Amino acid sequence: MPASRTAYEEHAPASSVVRAALAGSRHGVFWLEDAPGTTYPALVGATTADLAVVGGGYCGLWTAVLAKRRNPGARVVLLEASTIGWAASGRNGGFCEASLTHGEDNGRSRWPEEYDALERLGAANLDALEADVRDLGLDCQFERTGSLSVAVEPHQVEWLRGSPDFLDRDAVRAEIDSPLFLAGEWERDSCALVHPARLARELARVAAELGVEIHEGTRVTDLDAPTRGPVVVRTTGGPVTADRVALATNVFPSLLRRTRMLTVPVYDYVLMTEPLTDAQLASIGWSHRQGLGDLANQFHYSRLTADNRILWGGYDAVYPTGGRVRAAYEERPETFTALATHFLAAFPQLEGLRFSHRWAGAIDTSTRFVAFHGLASRGRVAYAAGFTGLGVGATRFAAEVMLDRLSGLSTERTRLEMVRRTPLPFPPEPFASIGINATRWSLDRADHRGGRRNLFLRTLDAVGLGFDS
């Protein structure tokens, strides 16, 4: 099949229009600027804990909060190298999905015998998270509006046809009006939207109110786990001697050598518009405020904010050579230009709207594209990582898994094959860069060839390393 231009390329606006839209933007994370928060002191000197939690993102915060709810008398210490929610937890799109498996196709292909249980547990986890937002008074702009998946190429329409939630061209454009949208699927209950940075900082507030000792600016440098007895967590502020340790370091290098090759960072890029006027918002509809995503391999995701800005991200996932996390990778003009071009192709009626913010963040990706879980040091250290963009909701489930396992409990969660087995590791450099970039090139090629996957992608599918977003 010959290559063709994608719908976004076919309907691209003039470059002068794109430049004007980006001209006033600045490099900064809108969510973090828009989230009030409290600062927490760095650790000074030695201390002890029943549970030490490493990482002040969603996974660590949920672990700390749920640990105190299970055992209010436990001494819980949370250690964060920078500030609460500054990394992925404060700069994602705010899509809180029920899925624990990155969709049904990925889940059924990897865990066919337990997929139905995973789907049920994921739905229960989202329900529990919504209840926590209500019961704990988390001011995080929670909206359970569902998600709208849209076909922007003719071959994608067939992927949706037959779904009970199928919307034809007229129906999908009645929801969100874009000339690129050919069909859609509105899953009304499987996704909620949140203000990501507010969720993180509200979880920290609740944790502190429950008695968790939070220390920002306290980097953990090592773990000392003798054969018996407590684990010593060595930090820049002093040692923490803990009976149990939960590692929630996400994309950053693991403190356990055994898991260091199980994740790689992939940079995701985001634009945020200025607030829409009433007339601009009326021109696109979006009255049900669903989360939005297209069906391309290099997919885009979008949503409205509380003040009616539009977040537009995705498409150009970039693996940095060597797999390092660096602030310098967050400014990538060619990607922001591509995103702005695609946005204005999707919504030509919004020409003249300007972007206020542009930013990026690193996603921790595993070879199975969902989180993995584990135990170390004879059951005294638990860990979870590899969320691959699903962390807003799945981190709460991971926190429950870690707490179950650290308590020695056998539960439905801990008995899952998904929990008991770790993914295949990534190869060392330069093979990781070669493989990841070949995959990225192949996915882009498929988007330009009617979705047809080449031999490389079909081989990955055959050995269980493929992923169709």
- pLDDT, one tens digit per residue, over 451-461 is 888 887 788 87
Residue 468 is assigned to a structural domain of this protein: no
Same domain, 258 and 268: no
Of residues 322 and 177, the one with the higher pLDDT is: 177
Mean pLDDT of 411-421: 98
Q: Considering 340, 365, 390, which residue would you say is the last residue of a domain?
A: 365
Mean of the pLDDT values across residues 398-417?
98
Instruction: Write the CATH number for 227.
Output: 3.50.50.60
Measured between alpha carbons, how far is 366 from 423 in angstroms, rounded to an integer? 7
Q: Any idea which residue has 């109110």 for tokens?
A: 209
Average pLDDT (338-356) is: 98
Question: Which residues contact residue 88 at a Cβ distance below 8 angstroms, ignoring those fewer than 6 apart?
Answer: 57, 250, 251, 361, 362, 363, 364, 391
**Residue 28 CB-half CA count within 13 A:** 12
Q: What percentage of the chain carries pLDDT values higher than 90?
A: 89
Contacts of 138 (CB under 8 A, 6+ apart): 132, 198, 199, 202, 203, 206
**What would the pLDDT profile of 33-82 be if each residue is shown by its tens digit?**
999 889 999 999 999 999 999 999 999 999 999 999 999 999 999 999 99
Evaluate if pTM is beyond 0.85: yes
pLDDT of residue 464: 74
Residue 466 has pLDDT above 70, yes or no: no
- Total domains, the chain: 3
Q: What are phi and psi of 235, to 5 degrees?
A: -130, 170
* Of 387, 370, 378, nearest in space to 406 by CA: 378
Tell me the C-alpha to C-alpha distance, in Å, between residue 253 and each of 222, 339, 386: 11, 29, 12
Asked whether residue 227 is assigned to any structural domain, the reply reads: yes
The mean pLDDT value for 242-251 works out to 97
- Flag whether pLDDT at 3 surpasses 80: no
**Each residue's pLDDT tens digit, 169-212:** 999 999 999 999 999 999 999 999 999 999 999 999 999 999 99
Residue 450 has what pLDDT? 85
- Name the 3-class secondary structure at 88: helix
Shared-domain flag, residues 22 and 91: no
255 with 359, same domain: the answer is no
Query: Which candidate, 270, 277, 316, places its Cα nearest to that of 296?
Result: 316
* Residue span of the structural domain in which 442 resides: 431-462
Residue 182 has what pLDDT? Answer: 98
Measured distance CA(9)–CA(315) in Å, rounded: 13
pLDDT of residue 367: 94
The whole-number pLDDT of residue 443 equals: 85
Residues 356 and 409 in one domain: no
**pLDDT, position 469:** 45
> Which ranges constitute the DSSP H helices of 238-296?
278-284
Strand ranges for 145-299 from DSSP E: 147-151, 166-167, 183-187, 191-193, 213-215, 220-224, 231-235, 240-247, 264-273, 291-294
- What are the tens digits of pLDDT across the range 276-287? 999 999 999 999
- The model's pLDDT over 136-163, given as tens digits with 9 standing for 90+, comes to 999 999 999 999 999 999 999 999 998 9
- With pLDDT > 70 as the criterion, what percentage of the chain qualifies? 99
Q: What is the pLDDT of residues 116-126, one digit of tens each?
A: 999 999 999 99
Residue 40 lies in a domain: no
If asked whether residues 268 and 385 sit together in one domain, one would say: no
Averaged pLDDT score across all residues of the chain: 95
248 with 273, same domain? Answer: no
pLDDT at 2: 64
Find the mean pLDDT for residues 436-451.
Answer: 87
Residue 41 within any structural domain of the chain = no
Q: Is 289 left (phi over 0), alpha (psi -120 to 50) or beta?
A: left
